[in-house]
Structure 1
Amino acid sequence: MADEALLAGPAIRRLRKRENLTQAAMATRLSISPSYLNLIERNQRPVSARVIMAMVEQFEFDPRSLREDEAVGGLDGLMRRLADERFADLAIDRDEAEEFLATSPQIAAAFARLYDKAGAGADLFDDPLAASRREIERWRNHFADLDTAADELADEIRLSRGDIGVALTDRLRERHQLSVRILPAEVLPDRLSRLDLHARQIQLNEMLSPASRNFHLATQLAQLEQRDEIDAIVQGARLEDDAARQLFARHLTGYFAAALIMPYGRFLRACEATGYDLPVLQRRFGVTFEQLAHRLTTLQRVGQRGLPFFMARLDRAGQFSKVFVGASTARFLDGEVSCPLWAAHLAFERGGELQVQFIALDDGGDRQGGWLTMAKSPVGSGAKGEARYSVVLGIEAVLAGDLAQARGVSLRPADAQPIGPGCARCHRENCAQRSLPPRGRHLSFDRMSRGTTPFQFGER
């Protein structure tokens, strides 16, 4: 399970009621005392590994159901929702939220669903992308079985001893009788890759970089060799929409591909030895900045955890096309758009350059911690219609002091660049960059003077 005490009283109580058992009867089945079971159900004692194994043996029981708090992204996920300005007058603190989540996880999940639906429009709950993201957040973007399988395959094909592309190509040819062929862009004008089973070929667009070619080959191996494991995870997901399931499966396929190219143990050792030096890690593992950022959000193996990074990808309009929070607590990624004061936008103007910035979420004077963020927009290939994105990697400033990219950056709270959650949700006053008034605030007007910002507003 996890390396912290597991309190799961409501889940145990629902299991007992489902089986129509008294506490005494269930305690007998689990070989514990009724008083001990009573304490477990009231969250006054954690569930031990021995009790969990007894439940698996005695009942049709999935141990993952004990972690019901993951349905809302854990305590951090619940706190991100409760931090909404609509709840500001309630002064809900972290201890109160933790108690609510521990004692009533199903009600907390119901609140999260309603909040997610109301927070961004009535269609969000039915949006397959949002549903897939919620499932990834429930797992905190860490899939231990896929990591283990990727480690074993990387060792089997000796991925660390030579050219990654050669090792992947050899595996595809020897195990699956598939050759790899690079085709001109005009032959694959609207495709990056294609599996041609008639010709027994994996066809790659010549415009792909070497790192992207390797990732496509690793993805193909994931589809060929990990289909059953990926399907099992998808079938266990809380997804009703087929498109959401397909998106989740695609994420898991990419997850395995990244884990194969960057095997967990070797990758984490390299991170720690280099101070998470991003350019060094990119070169050492032959990956793009975006692939590296993805992988850094997944390092949550019990007893072998990496730093809790978040990763996001945004377009020129500030819209998030990818958000992976992992074990991070970055609640300012919940909005639909980002703050223009964030250097993630500057990355578009300086393609290929890493934009390092110390930021603090400041919403109307209520400053929330600080984050070291690193953003990069890849240098374009010049292809017509090529999409451009800025990829951002971030970590809490209190954990960033020893990072290679933090050298020369002041992490004093007074030196942080304040940013907001997008103008419509931001209540900071006197921000010259403001383009929209904040929702829920009364606008005020002064005919005798004009301020530095286009909108003046009163109390909430």
Structure 2
Amino acid sequence: MADRKIFAGARVRAARTKVGLTQRELARRLEISVSYLNQIENNQRPLTASLMLTLAENFGLDLVELTSEGADRVLADLREAMADPLFGEAAPGLIELKSVAASAPDTARAMLRLYEAYRKANERLMGADAAMVGGPGPQTSYEEVRDFFHYANNYIDPLDLAAETLAASIGFALHGRLERLANHLTARHRISVMFEEPNSPDQLRRFDRASRTIVLNGRLAPATQYFQLGVQLALIEQAELIDEIVAGAEFKTRQAADICRLGLANYFAGALQMPYGAFLTAADRTGYDVEELAFEFGASMEQVGHRLSTMQRPRARGVPFFFARVDAAGTITKRHSATPLQFPRFGGACPLWNVHWVFGEHNGRIARQLAETPDGNRYLCLAWSEEKHTGGFRGPVRRYAYALGCEVTHASKLTYAADLDLTRGFEPIGISCRICPRTNCIQRSVPPMDARLEIDVDRREVVPYRLG
């Protein structure tokens, strides 16, 4: 991507507007003509290296952000939405969608919200999804919050910095860490922490505001107990900052705001458990070894995978990862991506992806896959499964599979790639069947929504149709 032309008109225009400069004033500071700047802001001319440096030095724009694949996230979502037969021949072409994603990202996101509202209304009317018959509910709110983190690149700078500061204050040493955090709550907020048998197997924590007592499930692993204590601490100590972030997001419903508030508290807890600077140093040193990092930071592999997907602090970025959690039914219940790989917004994920292999095997062991998506991007994909027990022999068990991966251009930094040939052997995967253009996939479940089908009643193959 070294020779890729950088079109960042929307970012340049936003930076100019933020400091109250006219095009003429900014052009004078950049020592270029007004017409040249106008072309840059309208994505008719790319940014040169010297202009990017000047913008970074004088306006605080991050070079990595200017050259990031942020527009690819919006573009992938637009392409998936436009594959709906609703648009038919009126669907914009790829070049036009790229232009909208790059130059008018807010408009593109508004279009996506409008399409999603249409799709859900249509499903309710047709009874296609009984869970949503009751109208807009938690699912809609969850998706709105998902998009908030998605477009924030899954990194929340003020919360991350606050968590890192607190972690340094209470000490990084694993031994006695939980006790020190509990002492901090007592000393600063007059809150006591207790460990006891839960009222129900699925209860993780409970905060009794009247007695100012936090009750943690005594059966939880220490990593989970620390995380849950960190979540409650965030809701108390970082309430003002969290409210400010939520208010800035301008969610449509109070429910979405509440869901985001909890998501931000979870984010803080993960950052407290694995402070950014120390965690990034350890990740580089260990070759991003998930199991080793889990041991060093007293965390679960799931917590480490999630944290790796957030390491996008400006001027101190780690390897950009995607991370997902999949339940036994194949539903993606967590999704974060700092890479061009996009998870399906509508429908299931590609069955050729290795995250589907690991249920029933590879329990706790990491499986590797070299994969290529239809857009030509190549990835090193890691996957493992885990069972979570909250009781005895007859207690409930939750089963999940986890996916973690990066583009092969970064794979050499990972210990998992040391014995792999990163030049060949890539398996074809897609985002979801409904938008995948591959014509020879024997695992295809449904045809692409924008494809013409050819049916031959006298010929039968594994897939009962051909794509025209």
TM-score (norm 1): 0.80
| Structure 1 residues without counterparts, runs of 5 or longer | 54-62
Equivalent positions of 1:135-150 (< 5 A) are 135-150=148-163
Q: How many Å separate the matches in 2 of 1:158 and 1:430?
A: 55
- Return the match for 1:428 from 438, 441, 454: 438
Q: Kindly indicate whether structure 1 or structure 2 has the higher relative contact order, using CA contacts under 8 Å at least 6 residues apart.
A: 2
Q: How many Å separate the matches in 2 of 1:68 and 1:416?
A: 30
Q: How many Å separate the matches in 1 of 2:188 and 2:296?
A: 27
Q: How many Å separate the matches in 1 of 2:322 and 2:103?
A: 28
Change (3 A) 1:33 1:175: closer
- Return the match for 2:172 from 154, 159, 171: 159
For the residue of structure 2 that corresponds to 1:321, the secondary structure is: strand
1:357 aligns with 2:353: no
For the residue of structure 2 that corresponds to 1:43, the secondary structure is: helix
Equivalent positions of 1:87-166 (< 5 A) are 92=94, 100-101=100-101, 103-114=103-114, 116-117=116-117, 127-160=140-173, 162-166=175-179
Task: Count residues in correspondence.
Answer: 427
Change (3 A) 1:288 1:429: same
Q: How many Å separate the matches in 1 of 2:102 and 2:75?
A: 13
Change (3 A) 1:91 1:246: same
Q: How many Å separate the matches in 2 of 1:82 and 1:14?
A: 27
Q: CA deviation at 1:42?
A: 4.5
Deviations 1:257-312 (A, max 9, x none): 11111111100000001110111001000111111111111111222110000111
Q: How many Å separate the matches in 1 of 2:422 and 2:121?
A: 37
- Return the match for 1:343 from 354, 362, 375: 354
The Cα RMSD (Å) is 3.8
For 1:349, the aligned partner's letter is: G
More divergent stretch after superposition (189-198 vs 245-254): 189-198
Contact residue 356 and residue 373 of structure 1 kept, 8 A: yes
- Return the match for 2:234 from 212, 222, 241: 222
What does residue 3 of structure 2 align with?
Answer: none
Equivalent positions of 1:9-408 (< 5 A) are 10-11=13-14, 27=25, 40-43=37-40, 48=55, 74-84=70-80, 86=83, 92=94, 100-101=100-101, 103-114=103-114, 116-117=116-117, 127-160=140-173, 162-185=175-198, 187-325=199-337, 327-350=338-361, 351-362=363-374, 368-381=376-389, 383=391, 384-408=395-419
Q: CA deviation at 1:181?
A: 1.8
Contact residue 78 and residue 112 of structure 2 kept, 8 A: no
Deviations 1:314-355 (A, max 9, x none): 112222111111x31112444431122222122221232222
More divergent stretch after superposition (261-270 vs 38-47): 38-47
Change (3 A) 1:353 1:120: farther
Q: How many Å separate the matches in 1 of 2:288 and 2:217?
A: 32
Deviations 1:101-160 (A, max 9, x none): 554444444444445556777689961111111111221111111121111111111133
More divergent stretch after superposition (174-183 vs 314-323): 174-183
Change (3 A) 1:317 1:42: same
Q: How many Å separate the matches in 2 of 1:373 and 1:199?
A: 47
Identity among equivalent positions (%) equals 32
For the residue of structure 2 that corresponds to 1:160, the secondary structure is: coil
Contact residue 155 and residue 311 of structure 2 kept, 8 A: yes
For the residue of structure 1 that corresponds to 2:389, the secondary structure is: coil
More divergent stretch after superposition (352-361 vs 286-295): 352-361
Q: How many Å separate the matches in 2 of 1:5 and 1:418?
A: 29
Contact residue 374 and residue 393 of structure 1 kept, 8 A: yes
Q: How many Å separate the matches in 1 of 2:389 and 2:441?
A: 36
Contact residue 218 and residue 257 of structure 1 kept, 8 A: yes
For the residue of structure 2 that corresponds to 1:395, the secondary structure is: strand
Q: How many Å separate the matches in 2 of 1:211 and 1:264?
A: 17
- Return the match for 2:449 from 435, 439, 446: 439
What does residue 418 of structure 1 align with?
Answer: 428
| Structure 2 residues without counterparts, runs of 5 or longer | 1-5, 42-50, 124-131
What does residue 58 of structure 1 align with?
Answer: none
Change (3 A) 1:134 1:33: closer
For 1:205, the aligned partner's letter is: N
TM-score (norm 2): 0.78
What does residue 455 of structure 1 align with?
Answer: 464
For 2:415, the aligned partner's letter is: A
Change (3 A) 1:178 1:188: farther
Contact residue 368 and residue 383 of structure 2 kept, 8 A: yes
Change (3 A) 1:450 1:431: same
For 1:423, the aligned partner's letter is: C
Q: How many Å separate the matches in 2 of 1:310 and 1:221?
A: 28
For 2:247, the aligned partner's letter is: Q
For the residue of structure 2 that corresponds to 1:140, the secondary structure is: coil
Contact residue 151 and residue 259 of structure 1 kept, 8 A: yes
Q: How many Å separate the matches in 2 of 1:39 and 1:304?
A: 32
Contact residue 234 and residue 265 of structure 2 kept, 8 A: yes
More divergent stretch after superposition (202-211 vs 108-117): 108-117
Q: How many Å separate the matches in 2 of 1:411 and 1:34?
A: 44
Deviations 1:373-405 (A, max 9, x none): 112222332644433221211111221123112
Q: CA deviation at 1:74?
A: 2.8
For 1:458, the aligned partner's letter is: L
For 1:132, the aligned partner's letter is: V
